[in-house]
Amino acid sequence: MTVLRLALSELKRMTGGLLPKLTILALIMVPLLYGAVYLYANWDPYGNLEQLKAAVVVEDQGATTKDGRQLHVGDQVAQTLMVGKKFDWVKVASAEQADDGVASGEYAFALKIPSDFSASLASPENFDSARQAILSVTTNDANNYLLTSIVDKVTTQVHESVAKEVGQRTADALLTGYGTIHTQLVKAADGAGQLASGAASFRDGAAQLHTGTGALSTGADTLLNGQTQLVAGANQLNNGAVQLSNGLGQLQSQTALLPADSQALSSGAAQVAAGNAALNSKVQSAVGSLDRLDSAAQGLLNDKAKPALDPLVQNGTMSAAQEQKVLDQLQALPASPALTDARTKLHIDAADVQKLADGSQAVSGGAAKLAGAAPTLTAAISEANGGARQLASGTATLAATQQTVFDGANQLAAGAKTLDEGAAGLDDGAKKLSDGATTLADSLAQGAGRVPNPNDAQKANAAKVISDPIAVNSLSQAQAANYGSGLAPFFLVLALWIGAFMLVQTMRPITQRALASNAPSWKIAVGGWLPFFVVSTLQAVAMYLVVYFGLGLDPTHPLLTLGLLLLASMAFTAIIQGVVALLGSVGKFVVLVLLVLQLVSSGGTFPWQTTPGPLHVVHQIMPMGHVVEGMRHLIYGADLAPLGAIVLGLIGYTLFGLLLSVIAVRKHKFWTLKTLLPEIAV
């Protein structure tokens, strides 16, 4: 039994009557109903948005710009929306009415323009009060979940258009300000030049001031040194004056009695002089008497003593008793040498007494003079003491004054030093000021040249660029024509899998007749798969023709697109037929699970890289994701390099499915009780 005969036998069985023929026709229509009808319903939804009612509320009260222009941007936005007819816009009176309409489903969404919309757009003219203008959008996912995404796109367009217009107006004002800044910078540069000239003069004056303060500081130091010496001398003078005053005071107190004492001295000296004179007279008289006594003694010795002594008694030189005593002694001591010695000594003493008398007389005269001069001396000492006290008081005042002057000189020196340091800093600052003023003048002149001073045409062009600085030059390597074309690769491939899955509901993966034959297992497996592939091919061709001619899908490579669909049908039917042949009713459930896994991992709507990590493995293993990628390259005109690997992969999946079918044939060649009476049949 050949492979073709096995396949034709199964096809003949399925087309033997009217109902089987209708069944085959229905199976062929399954992918068409799923893929083509779904694409038809979603072919260009964004082109039919004008059928959606949307409310717009304009509460904007307008604003006036600095140049006196009236802004009513809210009305302009509403007018633009209505003229554009992206939606079926309905202008309503209040925000409450719009919200109620969205809640009830009368409106798909509501756009509200607040009362300060224009004022906010004009606010950038005042940098301290600039604020954003707010657009409020009310949506309700109960109306449709995707409406939020659609409305976001619309509000983004409104935002961009309004922002561009307002940005251009603001940029124009900014550029006008640049012109004003340029003019003012030129004036500032001129003023800075004058400042630099004045700063140079100030620098020269500061240098002279520094020189003068240096000389002043040196002179103040010299003055301080001299004043220090002067204070020391004044203090010494004051100390000497105090000592002099104290000494004169003591001298005055000690000489206060000098006149009286000198007078008493003078009187005593006169008395002493008189007494000494009298003593001298008596001594001289005694010397004469002694001489006479000596002569008398000699006469007494010669028995003439008494006559000689009598005159002495008579003149009172001696008394009678003395005479008698002398006579007795003379009698007892006749002619003694001691008398001679006494007389000699008495003569000497008489001479001394004479000198004493003369000196006493001189002392008396000096004492008299001292007594006469003492009042004048004490008066002079008193006057000197008073003068010394005045001198001490004056020198104390002088010392205090000199200390004050010293303190002032010290402060003057410190101030002069501080002034010199300040003058030095001022000199440095003046130099820096001069240099800075020169730099400022140069910088302002350069800055004035760099600040733009555009004319009206330049301002208009620059404002346009500033308000919309980026122009996106999109270069699309491959682009879908519309929303339906974007979904087509995924839904066409998905429809083929669903169509193949529906075939196992009515077609037998392996016939019992083939299993009972002696044909090789691989022939039975291929013969069982070919009917699936033939019907799946009809499904793919029918679906492709309807989408191509009916919906207007225009692939860049139409024949290759159809060829890839046929290869996908080949692989899908081989896998599904092999799994069901091997596992029976359980295999149908496995095929359904594989459908779900590929549905979420193939990247039909969102990129497969955005799915959870475990699904990345499923994407790499299962065929649907790779076929979707190949369909995109063929429909949109992208690089065809990946197609080689995709084609080889589909051939591999086909061989894998046939391998499963061969294993199933070998397994089912041996009948068991479970084969005759399966636990479950679907």
pLDDT in tens, 402-421: 677 677 767 867 776 787 77
The residues pairing with 63 across neighbouring beta strands, listed in sequence order, are 71
Query: 677 pLDDT exceeds 50?
Result: yes
Separation CA 653–CA 425 (nearest Å): 92
pLDDT of residue 180: 58
Region 279-292: mean pLDDT is: 65
- pLDDT of 328 reads 72
Most confident of 7-11, 149-153, 670-674: 149-153
pLDDT confidence of residue 602: 82
Q: Residues 545-563: what's their mean pLDDT? A: 89
Percent of the chain with pLDDT over 70: 54
Question: Does the CA dihedral 672-673-676-682 come out positive or negative?
Answer: negative
57 beta partners: 92, 112
Q: What is the dihedral of CA 151, 155, 158, 161, to 10 degrees?
A: -120
Whether the predicted pLDDT of 300 surpasses 50: no
pLDDT (0 to 100) of residue 271: 72
Give one DSSP letter per residue of 587-630, joined into a string. HHHHHHHHHHHHHHHS-SSS-GGGS-HHHHHHHHHSSHHHHHHH
Identity of the highest mean pLDDT range in 48-52, 184-188, 284-288, 591-595: 591-595
Beta bridge partners of 137: 111
Interval 174-183 mean pLDDT: 55
- Output the pLDDT for position 626: 92
Q: Is the pLDDT of residue 299 over 80?
A: no
Distances (CA, A) of 118 to 67, 159, 175, 258: 15, 13, 22, 121
Q: How confident is residue 376, by pLDDT bands cut at 50, 70 and 90? A: confident
- Which pLDDT value is given to residue 470? 46
In the numeric block, the tokens 């001129």 are attached to 190
* 131-145, 365-379, 490-504, 653-667: range with lowest mean pLDDT: 365-379
By mean pLDDT, which of 167-181, 280-294, 625-639, 646-660 is the weakest? 167-181
* Residue 335, pLDDT score: 46
Whether the per-residue pLDDT at 274 is higher than 50: the answer is yes
Q: Which of 126, 196, 200, 111 is nearest to 158 (CA)?
A: 111
Q: What pLDDT does 649 receive?
A: 94
Strand 53-58 and strand 109-113: the pairing is parallel
Q: What is the radius of gyration, based on Cα positions, of the chain?
A: 75
The helices-and-strands tally (H runs, E runs) of the chain is 21, 6
With a cut of 80, say whether residue 598 has pLDDT above it.
Answer: yes
Q: Which of 234-248, 462-476, 627-641 has the highest mean pLDDT?
A: 627-641
- Contact indicator for 562, 548 with CB cutoff of 8 Å: no
pTM over 0.75: no
Which ranges of 468-520 would DSSP assign to H, the alpha helix?
483-503, 512-516
pLDDT score at 51: 80
Q: What is the dihedral of CA 378, 380, 382, 384, to 10 degrees?
A: -140
Q: What is the DSSP letter of 32?
A: I
CB neighbour list of residue 276: distance below 8 Å, 6 or more residues apart: 353, 356, 357, 359, 360, 361
Q: Which residue has the higher pLDDT, 241 or 424?
A: 424
What integer pLDDT is reported at residue 302 of this predicted model? Answer: 46
pLDDT higher than 80, residue 96: yes
The answer for residues whose C-beta is within 8 angstroms of residue 383's C-beta and 6 or more apart is none
Query: 506 pairs with which residues across the strands?
Result: none
* pLDDT in the model for residue 499: 85
Q: For the chain, what percent of residues have pLDDT higher than 90?
A: 9
Instruction: Check residue 509 and report its DSSP letter.
Output: S
Residue 302: φ, ψ to 5°: -105, 25
What Cα–Cα distance (Å) separates residue 408 from each residue in 29, 128, 214, 232, 403?
121, 57, 19, 16, 8
Higher pLDDT, 444 or 491: 491
Distance, first Cα to last Cα, the chain: 29
- Residue 166: name the closest of 252, 95, 69 by CA: 69
Higher pLDDT, 492 or 486: 492
**165-174, 193-202, 413-422, 528-537: which has the minimum mean pLDDT?**
165-174
In whole angstroms, what separates CA 223 from the centre of its chain?
52
Contact 558, 565 (CB under 8 A): no
pLDDT at 81 over 50: yes
Assign 43 a pLDDT band (cuts: 50, 70, 90). low
- For residue 586, the model assigns a pLDDT of 86
pLDDT exceeds 80 at position 455: no
Q: 494-520: b or e for each residue (b if 16 or more CB lie within 10 Å)? A: bbbbbbbbbbbeebbbbbeebbeeebe
Is it the case that residue 530 has pLDDT exceeding 60? yes
The length of the chain is 682
pLDDT at 345 > cutoff 50 = yes
Mean pLDDT confidence for 333-351: 61
**What is the bridge-based pairing of β-strands 63-64 and 70-71?**
antiparallel
Question: Is 366 a residue whose pLDDT tops 80?
Answer: no
Rounded mean pLDDT of 654-664? 92
Average pLDDT, the chain: 73
- Dig out the tokens for 84 from the structure: 């554009």
Distance CA 138, CA 267 (A): 145
Alpha carbon distance 179, 263 (integer Å)? 118
Of the pLDDT bands very low, low, confident and very high (cuts 50, 70, 90), residue 568 is very high
